[in-house]
Structure 1
Amino acid sequence: MAEPVHRTGRPAGADPGADPVRTLCTLFAEVLGRAEVDAGHSFTGLGGDSIQAIQVVSRARTAGLVVSTRDVLRAESVSALAATARAQDRAGGGTGPIVPPRRLGPLAPTPIMGWLAELGGPVDTYNQSLVLRTPPGFGAAAAERTVQALLDTHEMLRLRLPDGIGARGTEPLVPPAGSVTAAELLEHADARGTGDADLPALTRERMRAARRLLSPREGHMLRAVLLDRGAGQQGRLALVVHHLVVDGVSWRILQDDLKTCAAALAEGREPVLEPAHTPFAHWADLLRAEATSGRRTAEADRWAAALREAPQALAGVRAAGGLDPESPDNTLTLTLGPDVTGPLLTTAPGLVNGTVNDVLLTALALAVLGRRGADGEDTGDAEGAVLVDVEGHGREDVADGTDLSRTVGWFTTVFPVRLALGRPDLDEARAGGPAVGAALRLVKEELRAVPDKGIGFGLLRHLNSRTGPDLAARGIPQIGFNYLGRFPMGGDAPWDAAPGHAFALDDADEGLPMAHAVEVNAAAHEGPDGLTLSATWTWAGNAFPASWVHGLAQEWFTMLRAVVTHAARPDAGGLTPSDVSLTQVSQADLDTFESQLGALL
């Protein structure tokens, strides 16, 4: 068997130079798109998020170092992280369970699979896709060997559902490597003579045809299209993958693996990839057991309380089903430029020692309140609540010995969060005044109070027969929110994302009902001109008129700009109760203390 190759061409597991600080500085710079990173920098201080932290963990393991996602996010500096890192034990596979984890056989359905099945519509071709630049001369043989390496390494790409999605009968099955061949899933299209201007349209045409060939029943969860422009020009490799087996983090893993395969082929070796430390089948077994554990069942009342009725728009729940399918006519995409996005995703979260989600959800909650005010709504709601179904990446540290940094699959969690802002001064908020900071601190604390980033809700809702029926009967939040993280765009090197194609957005089957009345999918794109934030709004036509959602979308961007304005104020920021170890300290106590300390200084 050929030796696994690091993405830079070095054999996997090679000594990273006995200098973990230098190795981690290099990995931070690569993941965060920076020219260099100093040993005194922290990951979150540089604007890194949890999804990017997973990338660091994966690349560090390939370079011979073992760190955890939690360590990356919490370490105060690269030096501090390096002090906790340890060398990868290649013989033992690093830390983890002594018994080899299960990779093949029947797959226990996960919460997100149950969520999809409950939508009650066609999902056989529900997919995400990625289009990458290929090196000049990258032909059919190289593409077939590369796709085969992906199929043989990542078990979920071979998943088979004999009875379809959501049907009662045979469980999903993960067959062995070699049972699915790249030759039957790869189309080689001769695109010689196709110019850059015409290539995106040709690529989309071929991808639409590939999408129709997805078949979970047959185990065809992936289709690949190579647009080959010969030895003189870059081509394109389009991957169309059923959403059941891929998510935003998975795409980052696959993109790195494609680079690894290309490096191996360039050196005349067969591409062989390092398998995931924790396979998806093993993770699914852990989730099934976790769903009935005492620590999870203790959360049931918390989730039930969040899912309560409310008369205000986007403050309560609606019954499952009954929504129109997703439609291009009910879709709006808006983009914030680098002047706002840069400080929004880097400086603003640091104001309260928070995350990007804290900032985006604060602005969303303020926007909903502002939209209600624009409609003249006055229900006497002193709570000022907004109920949001939040999506998370789902790769949480809920079991010892797991490492999901190289596991491809659909891990997404969906959980309700009730954001209660009271009655903020919305005009002051739009101007970037203190009302923004107060709202940001409230939202941060609410999100910090969510156990294990919400993974328990799906477990109790879909995998626990005792708690599931009650939670299901309480309904679904009217609005869903998903921040996909950062994606590098605009590069022109081989294996960079190709221009003219959306990145990791869901492509639903025609006729699939929407899960929420309004849904927001946001992603940051790193291009040559800096960071931009793209937000795609979709809504059910029988739930809200287009004008209402358009107004909400514009108000959200207004509030995001206000956050940036607020971040520039000298009095912005401050501690929140979750930042201190003292118990029974309120936000008012901290505000008073900081005010008194400032006066003394």
Structure 2
Amino acid sequence: VRRVGIAEAAAGDLAPLLDRALTEASAELAPRDGEMVRAVWFDGGPGQPGRLLLVAHHLVVDGVSWRILLRDLADIATALAAGREPELPPVGTSVRRWSERLAAEVRRPERRAELPLWTEILSVPDVRLGAPDTPSGGATSAPGHDPAGPVARVTMTLPAARTAPLLDQVPSVFHCGVDDVLLSALALAIADRRRRLGSTATSVLVAVEGHGRDESVGGVDLSRTVGWFTSLHPVRLDPGQVQWGDLWSGGPATGRVVKRIKEQLRAVPGTGIGYGLLRHLDRETAAQLVGSAVPRIGFNYLGRVEFHDGPGGDWRPASEALGLDLGADGPLTPYGLELNAVTIDRPGGPELMVTWSYAQDVLSEAEVREVGEAWLRALEGMALHAAGPGAGGHTPSDLALSNLEQEEIELLEDEW
């Protein structure tokens, strides 16, 4: 652990020190040599709080892993302060065992049966982000730019008053998850951009990233396993022909789009982990998927993270972490546009923060901000809709045993 004294540093001088330490610690990581973790202690002096900077390579940690590690660090610190030997709960399934289970999982007939769905989703090249109605130039094309080219980012934050309904009321009335809401808004934002460019395309191909800890794979317990478990699968989202004025104002069109996108997402088997298995762990199915269309847009909702500097916050992420520069070269993205969203729990309520990473040879900052504003506007329309009478409702996936169509469900809901 490297020590940096900050007792004499003014509050405004701490951020540059943290940034510099992050850059230095990151540069010291060397996966080929087994150097995966660095720690820097910012010592505030006797009786004063400090900051512990932990830097770990993504190969050995993910978002869920950090939650596990912070809980363990808190338990260890509590035990040591009480003069006790720290005792941590056992790890259920190791990363090695998980890898072995995935290799076995891909051989199950149920996984092979998913192949037609994935090939259908990827059967049509997506429209370019930077030009109307222009196909990717072939099913084997890259996402429309050189991933090694210049990448920039735009960050937007939704205040607590506007975030809360998106976490609670909207998912509640539509019987869906927060990610369903955010993806519905993304499909609308892209459709809005395309119509402004004169395009008639309504569907968009999106690569959805998940935490990857799919315990439908039998015989595993990943609740305390530290590692990189990210999963990735494509979805084709189509809001259809949208009544834009009604949608922006939270009218019935809003509800129709959310239900439509929700059902498209529910068509994916489980959490979508099967795509990665068939694409990377089975040579026969990989050969059928490798030449398919490539998503130009990426999406990842990281869930909720608590940032708190008050009492009891010793082992929570510090508020300064939000301002750290995560690399001089900027974020990397294999897409023309990538959305990474996270809900930050603060004392004043949850705030939704989204970072749009984009290829500068595909989109300009002004274009990305326009897409971002349309995304926020769509979310606002959903919140307005959810607050009104008769909002939301069920969809066929909620009533899987009934075989009812959407119109039949809505007729029953209107009657009862």
So what's the TM-score if we normalise by structure 2? 0.92
Deviating above 3 A after TM superposition, structure 1's stretches of 4 or more consecutive aligned residues are 310-318, 324-328, 505-513
**Is the 1:519–1:537 contact (alpha carbons within 8 Å) kept by the matching residues of 2?**
yes
CA deviation after TM superposition for structure 1 residue 230, in Å: 2.1
2:379 to 556, 560, 564: 560
User: Distance in 1 between the 2:214 and 2:51 partners?
Assistant: 34
Residues of 2 paired with 1:558 and 1:233: CA distance?
A: 44
SS in 2 for 1:194: coil
Corresponding residue to 2:38 among 223, 236, 260: 223
Change (3 A) 1:528 1:311: closer
The answer to whether the 8 A contact 1:323-1:517 is kept is no
- Check if 1:464 corresponds to 2:245: no
Q: Which stretches in structure 2 are left out of the alignment for 5+ residues?
A: none
- 2:352 alignment partner, SS class: strand
Tell me if the contact between 2:153 and 2:331 (Cα under 8 Å) persists in the aligned partners: no
Structure 2 match to 1:445: 263
Q: Which residue pairs with 1:192 in the alignment?
A: 7
Partner of 1:532: 351
1:502 to 286, 304, 322: 322
Residue 236 of structure 1 aligns with which residue? 51
Larger RCO, structures 1/2 (Cα 8 Å, 6+ apart): 2
SS at match of 2:84: coil
Deviation at 1:472, TM superposition (A): 1.7
2:82 aligns with 267
> Match of 1:474?
292
The alignment covers a number of residue pairs equal to 406
Task: Report the TM-score, using the length of structure 1 for normalisation.
Answer: 0.64
Alpha-carbon distance between aligned partners in 2 of 1:483 and 1:191, rounded to the nearest angstrom:
35
Q: CA deviation at 1:313?
A: 4.1
Q: What SS does the aligned partner of 1:367 have? A: helix
Task: Select 1:288's aligned residue among 103, 121, 134.
Answer: 103
What is the CA RMSD across the aligned residues, in angstroms? 2.2
* Secondary structure of the corresponding residue to residue 486 of structure 1: strand
Question: What's 2:161 paired with?
Answer: 339
Q: Would the aligned equivalents of 2:38 and 2:55 in 1 still touch at CA under 8 Å?
A: yes
Instruction: Give the 5 Å matches for 1:102-181.
Output: none
C-alpha separation between the residues in 2 aligned to 1:527 and 1:312? 39
Work out whether residues 126 and 296 of structure 2, in 8 Å CA contact, stay in contact via their aligned partners in 1.
Answer: no
Equivalent residues of 1:349, 1:356 under 8 A apart: yes
The alignment status of 1:593 with 2:412, answered yes or no, reads yes
How far apart, in 1, do the equivalents of 2:328 and 2:267 lie? 36
Secondary structure class of the residue paired with 2:344:
strand
Q: Which amino acid aligns with 1:269?
A: R
Conserved? CA contact 1:324–1:542, under 8 Å:
no
Q: Distance in 2 between matches of 1:350 and 1:450?
A: 21
Q: Distance in 2 between matches of 1:210 and 1:512?
A: 17
1:386 aligns with 2:201: no
State the 1:302 CA deviation. Answer: 0.8
- Distance in 2 of aligned mates of 1:327 and 1:196: 33
Displacement after TM superposition at 1:512 (Å): 8.4
2: CA distance, partners of 1:544 / 1:263: 50
CA distance in 2, matches of 1:204, 1:546: 24
Counterpart code for 1:584: N
Q: CA 1:537/1:428 → structure 2, altered by over 3 Å: closer, same or farther?
A: same
CA distance 1:256–1:344, change in 2 (3 Å): same
- Equivalent of 2:340, from 513, 521, 534? 521
Cα distance in structure 2, aligned partners of 1:540 and 1:247: 24
**1:308-346 CA distances to partner (integer Å, 9 max, x unpaired)?**
334634597672374243756x21000111111001111
Structure 1 residues 371-411: Cα deviation after superposition (integer angstroms, max 9, x where no partner):
1122232x3x4xx2121111111111223331111111111
Contact 1:486 1:525 in 2 (8 A): yes
Contact 1:324 1:541 in 2 (8 A): no
2:146 is matched with which residue? 323
Moved more, 464-473 or 338-347: 464-473
Quote the Cα distance in structure 2 between the aligned partners of 1:251 and 1:583. Answer: 41
- Between the aligned partners of 1:464 and 1:235, the Cα distance in structure 2 is 49
Show the counterpart of 2:91.
Answer: 276
1:477 is paired with a residue of what secondary structure?
A: coil
SS in 2 for 1:538: strand
